[in-house]
Homo-oligomer: A and B are copies of this chain.
Amino acid sequence: MSDAKKPWGGRFEKSPSAFLEQYGASLMVDRRMWAQDIKGSIAHARMLAKQGIITSADADEIESGLNDVFRSISEGEFEFRIADEDIHMAIERTLTDKIGTAGGRLHTARSRNDQVALDTRMYCKDAAVDLIGHVNELRSALLHVAQEHHGVVMPGYTHMQKAQPVLFGHHLLAYYWMLTRDVTRLRHAYEAADVLPLGSAALAGTTFDIDRQFVADTLGFDAVGPNSMDSVSDRDFLLDLTYACTVGMVHLSRLCEELILWSTEEFGFITMDDSFSTGSSIMPQKKNPDFAELTRGKTGRVVGDLTGLLVMLKGLPLAYNKDMQEDKEGAFDAIDTFADGLRAMEGMISTMYVNTETMLAGAQGGFMAATDLADYLVGTGMPFRQAHEVVGRLVLKLEREGRTLQDMSTQEFLDTDPAFQADAIDSVDIYGVVARRVSVGGTGNDAVLDQLLVARDALAVDATWTEAHRD
């Protein structure tokens, strides 16, 4: 049984039990929004004073009191008490304890419904910018490794079968572009959050002569929410941010899968740095790519976070319902998990050792020049489908003999099909196979150099945006 006086206790005869107090409280989840809550309250108080709803003296007292609370929390001295239910009450109660009556006036013309929406939106904007920063660091690491190893050839796979040789940098850049789309998605989430809900009060707006645009300007919001009922029950911005994290984690899971594969003895393309590997409590020889596995596994929880939010919102009537208190924990978990995953990945990429000889050796096998041989035949006028069949038969024959295309003599080419000329043999050199793919976006060395330039420019633009939007 809590002793704290509830802010809504007027009409009630009994207090909730300790279990229910714990069950109903959100403080342990929403306390991380303390800075946003205080900033929002200061802006609200200033507006109230500007509009003559409270006195300037009251506003000054409130602002100074809130600054004290800010200091107290940021220095770790603040004691969070579950009986306060949520961060808004924790701060307001502390403020009122400090400054008395004026503190009670802070809640004029607002409600917990629009207040929590405000804090959450401010938090999400900050989180989106932070996440973009982490994404950009990983993009930067990928660019750096791609450039450092320019020219290194590895097998390219489809269906996990060797398909065509590609540049290692080209392969890494594919992830660079995935991450670039993650930035776009995070910016969309930022924009979704960038609408001021404060002033919607409980659900219907307020009778006080408030100035919402002033609050929006003070807090750096791009727009004022046009409908009070929507403003207090809209959680789209949390969905958008959680969704952005989810897709980002799916992207990381794909890269993790590759790092894990590449770290196997069988592939051997990379060696993870010791700092990103762990051992076994029973098998002394093990060196496991734990952090790649863990990050891949954490994709599940983030998909679960998104699902959870969608399920919670399904079928809720307007306006605010208590179900919505469950909006933050999943979203915060998605934000944290994606941020951690990005950091771990940045570290893995930056420190891994690239076994270029093993990659090249892998690229020599697997008949990966077969497409080029077929293209060669097309160049002689043969329809593609026929060329495909000629080469397919040749591959089958060589495979049975345990040989590869590089083992063929010029004479053997001539004997295989009349369309082959002496220069057929040139089409199966693996470096040539790569270098010839000069179409835009292709793996040819020059095409990849162009791609690196474009990628570097894109990153610079995104980095500028990020710095400009940091709090």
Q: How far is the CB of A40 from chain B (nearest CB, A)?
A: 15
Q: How far is the CB of A28 from chain B (nearest CB, A)?
A: 13
Copies in the complex: 4
- Indicate whether A230 sits within 8 Å of B274 (C-beta atoms), given known contacts A202-B283, A315-B314: no
Could you tell me the distance between the alpha carbons of A250 and B313 in the complex, rounded to whole angstroms?
7
Is A355 in contact with chain B by the CB < 8 A criterion? Answer: no
Looking at A96, A176, A296, A368, the one whose CB has the most chain B CB atoms below 10 A away is: A296
Q: Is the CB of A323 within 8 A of B296?
A: yes
Contact string, A1-38, partner B, CB cutoff 8 A, digits 1/0? 00000111111111111011001100000000000000
Could you tell me the distance between the alpha carbons of A299 and B330 in the complex, rounded to whole angstroms?
12
Q: How far is the CB of A73 from chain B (nearest CB, A)?
A: 21
B residues in contact with A234, CB < 8 Å: 177-178, 181
Residue of B nearest to A115 (CB): B281
Residue of B nearest to A101 (CB): B383
Q: Is the CB of B156 within 8 A of A229?
A: yes
Q: Is the CB of A107 within 8 A of B205?
A: no
B residues in contact with A367, CB < 8 Å: 284-285
Which of B261, B313, B395 has a CB less than 8 Å from the CB of A160? Answer: B261
- Indicate whether A266 sits within 8 Å of B362 (C-beta atoms), given known contacts A108-B378, A160-B321, A289-B159: yes
B residues in contact with A282, CB < 8 Å: 107, 110-113, 201-202, 371, 374, 388
Some 17 contacts from A to B, beta carbons below 8 A apart, are A16-B275, A16-B276, A17-B347, A20-B344, A111-B283, A112-B280, A158-B202, A166-B203, A177-B230, A178-B230, A207-B436, A236-B247, A253-B314, A253-B315, A266-B362, A297-B321, A303-B307
Q: Give me 20 other A-B pairs in contact (C-beta within 8 A), A224-B440, A284-B391 excluded.
A: A11-B395, A16-B278, A23-B291, A23-B343, A104-B383, A105-B383, A107-B281, A112-B281, A159-B293, A166-B204, A170-B204, A225-B441, A231-B441, A239-B247, A243-B243, A250-B310, A250-B313, A257-B315, A298-B326, A302-B308
